[in-house]
Structure 1
Amino acid sequence: MAKKHKAWIHIGMPGAGDVIEPALAHHHAALVELGVASAARTTAEGFRAAVEMTRSHRDWGLKRGDVEGQWTRLVRRAEKARADLAFSQSLLAAATPEQVALLVDALGGYQVHVVVTTGLDDESGALARWQAAVRKPERLHVIETDGREPAEVWKAFGRVVGFGTASLRLDDVPRATAAFQSLPDALREVERLARRNASLEVRLEELDRKRRRLKRRLGQVA
């Protein structure tokens, strides 16, 4: 019987672990060479999948059709790489047990591992909700981020998953920055802006699809 590939789901709290999501998307091509397929190739893709699984499309001003089927599409595309799968999205930290089960159901061909990076919020609730998804305690991994730089957290994540980060630098990985009087305020604003940008990307992608469909129709009429 063929050995199952692993699915690494990162559900970190807001904080230094936020770098993992954009880094996975930015380095998706290089990661495949290292045996890891990033399910999302852009942060917009990952955002849309997380919104679908958490049923929060209305909170982000989206329609159900904007996100429906996104998670399954990402998983099926990643399966073609015949490698381990990796996905990171902080919205999943708030997923209910039912939503967690639904997400894991699409990963039937994988051995599921969950990685939690600690942050300013209480992660105990998320840990409890995702415990059932991993089935075995050794498949639940916690990375402490207190006092760590993003590069250190990215390196620690790679070590858990099984890839080196020396050639996967963060220099070109997009990161939002803002000046605030306190770290908690800064982290909340960075997350808000990141999700807002991802929501806008989803809308732009939908408009582009409509534009292409209209262009094809006009071409047929001509």
Structure 2
Amino acid sequence: MAKKQKAWIHVGMPGAGDVVESALAHHHAALVELGVASLAQSTAESFRAAVEMTRTHKDWGLKRADVEGQWTRLVRRARKSRCDLVFSQSLLAAAGPEQVALLVDALAGHQIHVVLTTGLDDESVAAASWQVACRKPERLHVIETDGLEPGQVWTAFGRLVGFGTASLRLDGVPRASATLQTLPAALREVERLARRNASLEVRLEELDRRRRKLKRKLNSAA
């Protein structure tokens, strides 16, 4: 029997683990060479997929059409690589059982692993919903980030998934300031601003799509 491919879902609380989402997108091409395909190739894609799955588009000033079908598209694209899949987005920590079930349904045929990073001593908040998705308790992994730098979390995450990070440096990968990561209130504000920026990026992409569509119509009418 062929070995079942794995799907790794990183459900990170705000903190040093935030770097995983950006690093996966930044090193997408290199990771495929290592046998791991990040579903999202940009933080805007991962944000849009998480917003769709958690049904929070209105909270971010988006329309349902802006995010509808995003998760399925990302999974379908990544499957073509025939690699193990990986996805990271902190908004998934708020996903309820029904939302988790819908997300996992699109990953049928994969062995689901969930990695929870937390420095806020409340991993049970997310673990309760995600434990069922793993089917087996040993597939739920927790990386305690208290006292760890982002690079250490990234290394620990790679070790779990099965790739080395020595050549996947964090230089140029956007991440929260290490000083702010020790302050829960500041972390929440950093998270809010980061997601707002991602929301704006989604809107800009939509405007650009409409511009190109209009340009094609004008060219065809000329």
TM-score (norm 1): 0.97
Q: Does 1:219 align with 2:219?
A: yes
- 1:105 maps to which residue? 105
1:83 aligns with 2:83: yes
Give, in whole Å, the separation in 1 of the partners of 2:129 and 2:174.
30
User: Do the aligned partners of 1:12 and 1:119 also contact (CA within 8 Å) in 2?
Assistant: no
Q: Deviations over 1:111-148 (max 9, x none)?
A: 11000001226221210111110000111000010100
Which amino acid is the alignment partner of residue 12 of structure 2?
Answer: G
Distance, in Å, in 1 between the alignment partners of 2:94 and 2:197 is 20
**Residue identity opposite 2:149 in structure 1:** E
Matched, 1:210 2:198: no
Match of 2:157 in 1: 157
The answer for the alignment partner of 2:69 in structure 1 is 69
Structure 1 vs Structure 2 CA RMSD: 1.5
The count of residues paired between Structure 1 and Structure 2 equals 222
Partners of 1:109 and 1:212 lie apart in 2 by: 37
Q: How far has the Cα of 1:78 moved from its partner?
A: 0.5
Q: Distance in 1 between matches of 2:63 and 2:116?
A: 29
* C-alpha contact 1:14 1:121 (8 A) present in aligned 2: no
Check conservation: 2:18, 2:176, Cα contact below 8 A: no
Q: Unpaired segments of 5 or more residues in structure 2?
A: none
Q: Classify 1:121/1:60 alpha carbon distance in 2 versus 1 (closer, same or farther; 3 Å).
A: farther
**Long gaps (5+) in structure 1:** none
Contact (CA 8 Å) 2:5, 2:84: kept in 1 or not?
A: yes
Paired position in structure 2 for 1:6 = 6
Deviation per CA, 1:143-180: give whole Å up to 9, x if none: 01010000000000000000000000001101244976
Match of 1:116 in 2: 116
Contact persistence 2:49–2:70 (CA under 8 A): yes
- 1:47 corresponds to: 47
1:91-124: CA deviations, max 9, x gaps? 0000010000000000002111000001226221
1:130 paired residue number:
130
Q: What is the CA–CA distance in structure 1 between the aligned matches of 2:120 and 2:110, rounded to whole Å?
A: 31
- Deviation per CA, 1:18-60: give whole Å up to 9, x if none: 0000000000000000100000000000000000000000000
Asked whether the 8 Å contact 1:114–1:139 carries over to 2, the reply is yes
Residues 64, 121 of structure 1: alpha-carbon distance in 2 compared, 3 angstrom cutoff: farther
SS at match of 2:169: coil
CA distance in 1: counterparts of 2:179 and 2:129, whole angstroms: 34
Give SS of 1:209's match: helix
**SS of 2:193 mapped into structure 1:** helix
| TM norm structure 2 | 0.97
Structure 2 counterpart of 1:58:
58
**Following superposition, which runs of at least 4 residues in structure 1 exceed 4 angstroms of deviation?**
none
Distance 1:7 1:178, change over 3 A: closer
The equivalent of 2:20 in structure 1 is 20
Deviates more, 1:113-122 or 1:156-165: 113-122
Following the alignment from structure 1 to structure 2, what is the Cα–Cα distance between the partners of residues 103 and 175?
Answer: 26
Aligned partners of 2:85, 2:123: CA distance in 1, in Å?
A: 23
**Counterpart contact for 2:149–2:178, Cα < 8 Å:** no
Residue type of the alignment partner of 1:77: R
Q: CA deviation at 1:2?
A: 2.0
- Look up the SS of the partner of 1:59 in the other structure: helix
